Chains A and B, each alone.
Chain A
Amino acid sequence: MKAHQADRFATIMLWIGALAIVAILIAFLTLILGRGVPHLTSEFFNGPDGVRGQLFNSFYILFLSLVLSLPVGLGAGIYMAEYAPKNKFTDLIRLSTESLASVPSIVFGLFGMIVFVNMFGLGFTILGGSATLALLNLPILVRVTEESLRAVPRSYREASLALGATMWQTLRKVILPTALPGLITGITLVAGRALGETAILIFTAGMNVSRIPFDVNPLAAGETLAVHLFAVKSNPLPGTNADQIADGTAALLIIMVIVFNICLTLPSRWLQRRQLGKNKM
């Protein structure tokens, strides 16, 4: 009877854990959205202190950092999972990636400032910010890619190779599609971090917004929403209602991240279903 009781106890504890997560999320969302959403007016975006520029910069920097980091991160991850022989050198690469993944982001920010802002003499730029963000995200991308690919059963590889497929065909047509959900999770994770990153961008992309709307010049300074939130709260400009702007910005950030995740997840589910055939089981 003891095993039975232990089982019930464990079930209850796990339920409580799961419920706690949901409860925290709901509390968090109601507070932030409740305070912020009422401020999300047209004035909030387009007014003299509007955040239209910051909103644009957030996505622009996210986009550029993904353009810079995805090819390298996916490539390295694929290499590590599929092609790399197992030896001391690849162990070293793996150790390096793991160490890089745990470097505090502000240290990356400092590095970016030294390299892009000072050594290259770019000053505060969207390009420098994106490149530094890409560096922050690279190790995570490599690890997530490697792990998602390793999770694909060996038997799929064998089946494909035994049919006379090359390694590249196997990768493209069997392994990557099967690993897609894992890869999407990784990209979502990285993108979420990029949208919310502050420390790095203060040092590299600066706290100014171009006066031209939707300025795509990568050499302009580009304050993002998250940096804006920090700037407004830590150093409120006289004559503005900093608290309201901060609340609105926080809500907007959350909504952005949620919408972005949905935009990535839904198409990937749809793709998977189409690939798998009509009914899943």
Chain B
Amino acid sequence: MDKIVVNKLDLFYGDQQALNNIGIAMKERSVTALIGPSGCGKSTFLRTLNRMQDLIPSVKIMGQVKIDGQDIYVAGTDVVLLRKKVGMVFQNPNPFPKSVFENVAYGPRIHGESDKKKLSEIVETSLKDAALWNEVKDRLHESALGLSGGQQQRLCIARLLAVGPEILLMDEPTSALDPISTMKIEELISELKDKYTIIIVTHNMHQASRVSDRTAFFLSGDLIEEDVTSVLFTRPAKKKTEDYISGRFG
């Protein structure tokens, strides 16, 4: 079933058009990778899916983004509920300057959970789901800023899982990490896709081919091609895609 359906999406920064007429559908419990050179609009597109792009003052957005059949850009959409359902992992790990426990408990707390026992349970499950529990279970009340970069990124994923999202948006989640941490995150993504719909922006084509079911190629604000990952990388339909994946530019 299609979880996300995007239709004729245009986005402008002031007068500058950054996304042209994007149309794409993403299946439930699958991983979609967005690839393309820097500035092609892939991150911008990702951020339209949880309306984080709205935070930039001069942005204008037109078109439709439907999640579970609901257009998230119609007036009266509850952005708080939307972002609870559509979570995001950022390029640089950004844990709060709080303890490990408080980082994960932050989401449930702001959504009204105050029961200590329940919070502990949520923290434990989320950390286990993010494959971090064993490394931090003895230091839950120490600062999250003392963790390594890779651990911090998995903590951010745990923090996200704790609010019970259905869709995970990942904006180059491993670009600031070393190869071993990257591998751990990639393994985690393959586990998480049993439960979540994942969209990952990556500049690394090998990563896209390793983790994703489908891949979308963006160039200068256009969605050039979108297909099953193995097909897109071996038999692309468009010349531009072929030039990009064979390393002729980008």
Contact = CB atoms under 8 A, between A and B. Distances in A.
Interface residues of B, number: 36
B80 A174 contact: no
A83 to B, nearest CB: 12
Most buried by B among A164, A169, A278, A280: A164
Interface string A151-166: 0010110111111111
B145 interface: yes
B163 A163 contact: yes
A5 interface: no
A281 interface: yes
B196 interface: no
B141 interface: yes
Interface in A160-180: 160-166, 169, 173-174, 178
B163 A164 contact: yes
B96 A158 contact: no
Interface residues of A, number: 25
Given A155-B90, A276-B99, A162 B142 contact: no
Most chain A beta carbons < 10 A, residue from B90, B97, B99: B97
A276 B97 contact: yes
A104 interface: no
Interface in B77-104: 80-84, 87-88, 90, 92, 94-100, 102
9 contacts: A159-B95, A163-B106, A163-B163, A164-B83, A164-B110, A178-B96, A276-B145, A280-B143, A281-B143
**Top 5 closest A-B pairs, CB basis?**
A277-B99, A164-B84, A155-B94, A277-B143, A164-B83
Interface of A: 85-86, 153, 155-156, 158-166, 169, 173-174, 178, 275-281
